[in-house]
Amino acid sequence: MSDPITTASFLGLSGALLGIGLFGILTRRNFILLLIAIEIAINAAVLNFVYFAAFASTPASGLNGQSAAVVLVGLAATEIAVGLAIVLALNRLRGSINVTEATSLRL
Amino acid sequence: MDLGTLIPQFLPEFVLLGAGLLILLGERVGLERREYFGALSLAGMLLAFLLVAADLGTPGMGGLRGVSAGQVDGAAIPGALYGFSSLGLWFQEFFLLAAGLVALAFLSRPSVERGAAVSYALLIFATLGMLLVTLAADLVYLLLALEITAISSYLLVGYTRRDPRGLEAAMKFYIIGALSAALSFFGASLLFGAYGTTSLSVIGHSWPSGSGGLASAGYAFLLVGLGFEVTAVPFHMWAVDVYDGAPDEVSAFLAGGTKKVGLFAFVLLFTVPLLLVGSLSSATGSARESIQLSLVVLALLTMTLGNLLALLQPEMKRLLAYSSISQAGYMLLGIAVGTAPALTGASLQILAHVLLKTGAFLVVAAVSALGIGPLVADWRGLGVRRPYLSAAFALFLLGLAGIPLTVGFVSKFVLFSALVQAEGWFLWLAVAGLLNSALSVFYYARILKTMYVDKSPTAEETAPARSGEPLGADGLGWGRAGAIALAAVAVVALGVYPQPVLGALGTAAQHFLSLGL
């Protein structure tokens, strides 16, 4: 196949996306940026599904992957919506969306 | 598939969905009092509980679900999203039990409170997600159901929107939950990439052949992602903070309910791979042994560290959170071994934990409603001041420690004897479990001593009781008192006469395992 994209290079891309997302989740102080990091991390999985579906061996398997990707996109949107609700409530309560300022519970 | 066949198959789930939507609708049309919402959700949960019980009671279970007899505990249909197993239906009963106890206790919160309707609706939707998890036969379906539970429970933790501690707990819970979801999704996508399907049984049977490590990486990601969900050490740090900051009843639901969903997801994901350990060619067998080993290591770490950290805790809720972490270790152990008796033991341990942990956290809720502080030391002399409440709490603690005549003893006995029966190095796991149980007795005994031996604090030391109208049942609130009493009765009843449940669970576990082959 003359296709320049190999599975290994593709997994490198989605792995990098996941890595960037996880790094963001663990280091970001601003809740909105943290939400963006979550979105990036989840999209790594969506991209994987799309890629594997495109090169699936049977049509049924391809449809399986594509539908999984659509479901995950919906889930990611729900997850972010809930995150935004929590941000709004936090902001209303203490006027800040900085994650590190929420320290009333000890770790 | 049209709605005509779907609704009968998912009747209990639709009942819950209807109850949740009715509650939200009720709030729209101006209902305010908590009692209405509570009654509606309890009615929905009870109806769902009875429907599932009827399914379990019918031989072959054709009846109410509208599924043909062969479909329950039948071989997995290729490409099916969901399947009915009697073990799954038993877990539905456990989850409905936990949710029902919490809904009952919820009644004792202030009658008119912002978010009362929403909190009940979220409780119901979280339970709905839990019920769906037990039916999963497909990876994406499983993750979707897990997310329904997770998203509802983030919101449940912060539902008051006025309490900074609750909101902060919700934020932490959310961040960790999103992290765990991202890792699980990625793992699922790798498994799909390896075998071109998301069917759990196909993946489980194919692994690890012909995937070049892709599938093993997928399992590893799922193990970590779900490890967060079940608070396995080293992914446990969030749990203590979240249980501490959440409203007390919600902590009871998180520890007694939603955590067990992750454990059932472990059962669904890893039972088939683990079943064939030893009966396969060396390369395949060794890959499967590695997953068993990592589960066992996770379980041992979880129970030991959970217990050690609990020893040092001065705060009651955090202590219970650590003890809950360590208990998850025992359950993981049962799942990791993968024999029918061990799975029975793990299921029984989960049932025991649902009753004991929910009960214990509800006692904490009741005690804090009496205006007693969060430290273990604040409970000094409670045995004299509140004899019934203290007796119930003592019963739950003894159950958690595994003392005879409680359900905690039966479940640990079944689990550990299953480990001994499994022979080989599993024997040492039973020894480790027993040592851990002995360790846990130290901190449970410390609480008992504080409650019964130490002198009550003098009048000026005790904080004044919270203002507001006094609650029924001697200040505890009828709902809370009822839920605690129910849990206590069930703990003793199952401890004295466990045979029916034990037998049925054993058969269910056997069916479940034979399905996997």
Nearest CA-CA distance, residue A3 and chain B, Å: 18
Work out the average pLDDT over A37-63: 92
DSSP conformation letters of B159-207: TTSS-HHHHHHHHHHHHHHHHHHHHHHHHHHHHHHHHS--BHHHHHHHT
Cα B329 to Cα B307: distance, rounded to the nearest angstrom:
10
**Beta carbons of A25 and B143 less than 8 Å apart:** no
Beta carbons within 10 angstroms of residue A19's beta carbon: 13
Question: What is the per-residue burial (b if ≥16 Cβ within 10 Å, else e) of B159-184?
Answer: bbbebebbbbbbbbbbbbbbbbbbbb
Instruction: Find, in chain A, the residue whose alpha carbon is nearest to that of B153.
Output: A82
**Beta carbons of A105 and B170 less than 8 Å apart:** no
Q: Which residues of A touch B146 (CB under 8 A)?
A: none
Output the average pLDDT for chain A: 87
Q: Is B375 helix (H, G, I), strand (E, B) or coil?
A: strand
Flag whether residue A33 sits within 8 Å of chain B, measured between CB atoms. no
Nearest CA-CA distance, residue B138 and chain A, Å: 11
**Beta carbons of A104 and B168 less than 8 Å apart:** yes
Which pairs from B82-85 meet CB under 8 Å and 24+ separation?
B82/B132, B82/B135, B82/B136, B82/B137, B82/B138, B82/B141, B83/B135, B83/B137, B84/B135, B85/B134, B85/B508, B85/B511, B85/B512, B85/B515
Q: What is the pTM of this model?
A: 0.93
Q: Which residues of A touch B154 (CB under 8 A)?
A: 82, 86
Predicted local confidence at residue A1, as pLDDT: 44
Choose the closest CB to B196 out of A41, A45, A61: A61
DSSP conformation letters of A32-53: HHHHHHHHHHHHHHHHHHHHHH
Domains, chain A, in order of start with CATH, read: 7-96 (1.10.287.3510)
**Beta carbons of B241 and A107 less than 8 Å apart:** yes
Residue B39 burial by Cβ neighbours in a 10 Å radius (0-12, 13-18, 19+): middle
Predicted local confidence at residue B467, as pLDDT: 47
Nearest CA-CA distance, residue A18 and chain B, Å: 8
Instruction: Find, in chain A, the residue whose alpha carbon is nearest to that of B175.
Output: A25
The single-letter code of the amino acid at B358 is T
List the one residue out of B301, B336, B307 whose CA is nearest residue B322: B307
Whole-angstrom distance between the N-terminal and C-terminal Cα of chain B? 28
Predicted local confidence at residue B337, as pLDDT: 86
List the one residue out of B185, B84, B95 whose CA is nearest residue B139: B185
Nearest CA-CA distance, residue B174 and chain A, Å: 7
Cα B81 to Cα B200: distance, rounded to the nearest angstrom:
9
User: Residue B136's beta-bridge partner residues?
Assistant: B82
Predicted local confidence at residue B330, as pLDDT: 92
Q: Which residues of B touch A71 (CB under 8 A)?
A: 140, 144
**Beta carbons of A82 and B154 less than 8 Å apart:** yes
**Beta carbons of A83 and B169 less than 8 Å apart:** no
Nearest CA-CA distance, residue B289 and chain A, Å: 26
Per-residue pLDDT of chain B (517 residues; tens, 9 = 90+): 677 777 888 889 999 999 999 999 999 998 888 889 999 999 999 999 998 888 887 655 555 665 655 566 766 677 788 888 889 999 999 999 999 999 999 998 887 788 889 999 999 999 999 999 999 999 999 999 999 999 999 999 988 888 888 898 999 999 999 999 999 999 999 999 998 889 888 888 887 676 668 888 999 999 999 999 999 988 888 899 999 999 999 999 999 889 999 999 999 998 877 776 555 556 666 777 888 888 999 999 999 999 999 998 899 999 999 999 999 999 999 898 888 899 999 999 999 999 999 999 999 999 988 888 888 888 888 888 888 999 999 999 999 998 999 999 999 999 999 999 887 788 899 999 999 999 999 999 999 999 999 887 765 555 545 545 556 666 778 889 999 999 999 999 999 999 999 999 999 998 888 876 5
Cβ-contact B476, B372 below 8 angstroms: no
Flag whether residue A57 sits within 8 Å of chain B, measured between CB atoms. yes
**Beta carbons of A49 and B189 less than 8 Å apart:** yes
Work out the average pLDDT over A70-84: 94
Nearest CA-CA distance, residue A21 and chain B, Å: 9
Instruction: Find, in chain A, the residue whose alpha carbon is nearest to that of B163.
Output: A93
Count of pairs with CB atoms under 8 A, one residue in A, one in B: 130
Nearest CA-CA distance, residue A53 and chain B, Å: 8
B125, B186, B237: best mutation site toward chain A, by most A Cβ within 10 Å?
A: B186
User: Scanning the structure block, which residue is given the tokens 């309910």?
Assistant: B257
Predicted local confidence at residue B71, as pLDDT: 62
List the structure tokens of B484.
């605690």
Predicted local confidence at residue B459, as pLDDT: 57
Predicted local confidence at residue B173, as pLDDT: 93
Flag whether residue A93 sits within 8 Å of chain B, measured between CB atoms. yes
Nearest CA-CA distance, residue B244 and chain A, Å: 8
Q: Which residues of B touch A97 (CB under 8 A)?
A: none
Instruction: Find, in chain B, the residue whose alpha carbon is nearest to that of A80.
Output: B178
Predicted local confidence at residue B472, as pLDDT: 67
Choose the closest CB to B198 out of A64, A99, A106: A64
The model's confidence at residue A8, banded by pLDDT at 50, 70 and 90, is confident
Q: Which residues of A touch B182 (CB under 8 A)?
A: 18, 21-22, 25, 38, 41-42, 44-45
Q: Which residues of A touch B147 (CB under 8 A)?
A: 75, 78-79
With a CB cutoff of 8 Å and minimum separation 6, the contacts of B66 are B5, B8, B9, B11
The interface predicted TM-score of the complex, written ipTM, equals: 0.93
Helix and strand element counts for chain B (H, E): 21, 0
Percent of chain A with pLDDT over 90: 60
